[in-house]
Structure 1
Amino acid sequence: MTRVKLPHTAAPAADASVFFKLVRVVNLTARPFQESVGRQYQLTLNEWRVLAVLAVLAQHADVTAMAVADLTGLDKMSVSRALRGLARRGRLQTQTLESDLRKRQLQVTPAGRALFMEVWPLAQQREAALFADLPAAELAQLGAVLDKLVVSVRSQR
């Protein structure tokens, strides 16, 4: 068997990668969730992400697990686990859609709504602290770049 010899190139430093920096920011901001909010409210980070999407959107439309996966960027299995956890604790209920019996509409229960209303201010405080040192123009620019990235990633599927 003949081996192909690849040219030796030095691997770039991880800190030089914009993608790595983006992942690192997400991980560093998510890390304290379990210690501060998760334990207190018996809530995983993905359950919170799903609950937040549902609490805002479910009042406006029929929201399905596929829509939640698309809006959060979570994979279907993570969304499914989060939905089961929320339902198990009485924070979510489902109802079969009349238009498509294979799909289930997701609805936040009063207990889920109360939890969202209690945790949401904590999430807003965390976001404010994260962006406190960014001037408004840079924050707007970051938002625009992230919007472009979302469109780009969706178009590559």
Structure 2
Amino acid sequence: MKKIALFAVAAALVSGNVVAEEKKGINPWTQCGIGAMIFNDIPAAAGISNVIWDLGTTAVSSNISSQDTCEGSRVKAAMFIQDNFDQMMEDTSKGSGDYINAMLEMLEVEGESQQVVITSIRSNVGSQMAVEEVTPQSYYSAVMASL
């Protein structure tokens, strides 16, 4: 029963973001790691596999297993979010901080635009919190939707 619940949560986290992420660029949870190697043409299955395997940690840090698809500023930002999730949430709640600023610099968001993007991230994450638990992947999706 626990595996079924985990599968359902993984499916919800991944499938809702796949279409939007494909339009905006790479989604490390669906395009990297073991899941992407096994389910190359099925992003939702790749994401579910990665999330079930280790909550997506390996996928986000898998530049060895899938170098050609798992590089660039978006993957670096995803890795940063994964590694610093608690601090990212704290900075997001405050509306400023070293961690959120570092992530925006990785994503090459210019100084003038940073506050607009932070406001959008806060709104997107707040909307997520109202209906579900915020995870590193859903936070990443909120960031990508804010760019």
Between structure 1 and structure 2, the one with the greater Rg is 1
Report the structure, 1 or 2, having the larger strand content. 1
Higher RCO (C-alpha under 8 Å, 6+ residues apart): 2
Determine if the TM-score, normalized by the shorter chain, exceeds 0.5: no
Q: TM-score range by the shorter chain?
A: 0.3 to 0.5
Report the structure, 1 or 2, having the larger helix content. 2
TM-score by length of 2: 0.33
